[in-house]
Chains A and B, each alone.
Chain A
């Protein structure tokens, strides 16, 4: 089976991200960027489906030129090829535009199954994959913590607060995966070396059939109107043990309804 997987490059979540107060865009200078850790699960899931069914994986990504590194990592993990959309005119695009671009790119592949993360680590609107499904007129099966494909169908376990629902849909379909669905592999050095020779298609907006005037900041229907620093966390409460500390801790946790 041919699988397409969406991969986004994000600022390293272990670093401290900053938004530019004037443009409301992410400050990218001097920031380490990585493949979204959530998308590592997507790539692993896609590879597992492809390996089990004798198919292959196409990476689809939109981002600035540097995002090619995340694409390369997915190729090093084992994907066969990539479609990478990197066009300066896309700068400042909102989630819907991102979905339109990705959907147009996916439509050009033979993929029966599209896998994406549930939500990105930086933007986390969680809307791109379902928008892609809508644009491609395919069912979306979301929050998968288990995934299996059968004859013309895909079945997932959707994580819920109390357990999981079993959800099944016809292929072609879009699936979003959650962390913990698998253990993403480390790319082997052999994989890293092989990635160099794998095809990375870089279509223009025109080639994707997207009107450039509808993308970027100008084309964005969604606008960030203000950014503010999060409130400082209040000082913690120190419990000094005078013999009653255990009981007070239990009462505190009980108040929070966590026990």
Chain B
């Protein structure tokens, strides 16, 4: 048993792993091939009380701590990082701003159905001209009568096609991060539409869309918290986002690592298992050591966040190290599988494609490094947004 987890975490890990093995693993490859998020997984998770677990019980959650979220992300990503991506966006990233900064009405309206899986959430920050530099978004929300009118385009939005509600970052004030507010926009709101479903290299089992807001009118009650505070609300969740994404990397890498190990022991060339060749053996040692290092860094960051200690340095490091690690580990897993790993019916090729986004989505490796550099006192506070 690890110092980071207690009996409840272990029991949850075992049971959730069994759920994932039975309900998710069998459909993971097909969902990837189809390029579609299997919505029934989310509904089933909701039915079993496995969505939005960090929310208090009154909203349908289980008051789960950060370590529990880490366990859930690791175990789901082990079967499908793509499916996990959709789930993390729904359960954690879209829901948390509503829970933490939303009104009583907003909480009552969106949280219970999100936890039960009856509603799916998305969060829309990124725009064609504003990626890493979130503070430069151009989508506007103009006060109009007793509401707001939204105009702009959002891109790469996970769950965009299937969402019942989208937390949208839009500009209500002047330029820069102080002019940004968050709104909850319901699917079907006049002027809001899904421009297109986006086809991807990896994470194909998650849904990704471009969204369009054309004179989209929303009521005043859809503003989350105070106008102009949106950027801060997003930043408040950033460490948790980095940590669960790092945990996803760790889970996905474990899947690749296990397959690589068993293949290296089973595959024989030159009359012996390929694991007996030093170059293969050491490759696995390297994968294992890097995986373990990333895992422990992730646990450490999560542990600090759980104790409400400042953890921006650790969470950015975990996110950076885990993102790079999972690319290397899944790549090496293909190398160990030789030509079989290059075939589309192998699992490791899916792991490899799913891993690729891990140095890009939700804050690129370069941005994490800038954040770390700033924490190390190497650069000033200016210039880096995400």
Contact = CB atoms under 8 A, between A and B. Distances in A.
Contacts of B15: 73, 76, 186-187, 192
A173 B304 CA distance: 53
Contact of A73 (B11, B48, B53, B62): B11
Contact of B7 (A72, A186, A187, A189): A72
A188 B11 contact: no
Interface string B57-74: 100001110001000000
Interface of B is mostly: helix
A186 B12 contact: no
B163 to A, nearest CB: 24
Chain A: number of interface residues, binned into ranges: 10 to 19
A189 B12 contact: yes
B interface residue count range (under 10 / 10 to 19 / 20 to 34 / 35 or more): 10 to 19
A169 interface: no
Nearest to A76: B11
B64 A189 contact: yes
B101 interface: no
B8 interface: yes
Contacts of B64: 189, 193
A250 to B, nearest CB: 31
A137 interface: no
B68 A189 contact: yes
Contacts of A196: 7-8
A34 B16 CA distance: 14
Interface in A71-85: 72-73, 76
A185 B53 CA distance: 18
A193 B62 contact: yes
B19 interface: yes
A182 to B, nearest CB: 15
A109 B110 CA distance: 44
Interface string A52-92: 00000000000000000100110010000000000000000
Contacts, number: 45
Nearest to A196: B8
B165 interface: no
A147 to B, nearest CB: 23
A191 interface: yes
A22 to B, nearest CB: 29
A233 interface: no
B8 A192 contact: yes
Contact of A186 (B48, B53, B57, B62): B48
A25 B214 CA distance: 73
Contacts of A186: 15-16, 18-19, 48
A233 to B, nearest CB: 19
B225 interface: no
Contacts of A190: 49, 57, 62
Nearest to A185: B48
Contacts of B68: 189
Interface string B188-206: 0000000000000000000
B100 to A, nearest CB: 20
B291 interface: no
A185 B50 CA distance: 13
Contacts of B48: 185-186, 188
Interface string B2-42: 00000110011011101100000000000000000000000
Q: Which 8 A-B pairs have the closest CB atoms?
A: A188-B49, A189-B62, A190-B62, A189-B53, A186-B19, A192-B12, A186-B48, A192-B8
Given A72-B11, A186-B19, 15 more contacts: A34-B14, A69-B7, A72-B7, A73-B15, A76-B11, A186-B18, A187-B11, A187-B15, A188-B48, A188-B50, A188-B62, A189-B49, A190-B49, A195-B11, A196-B7
Interface of A: 34, 69, 72-73, 76, 185-193, 195-196
7 contacts: A189-B62, A189-B64, A189-B68, A190-B62, A192-B8, A193-B64, A195-B11
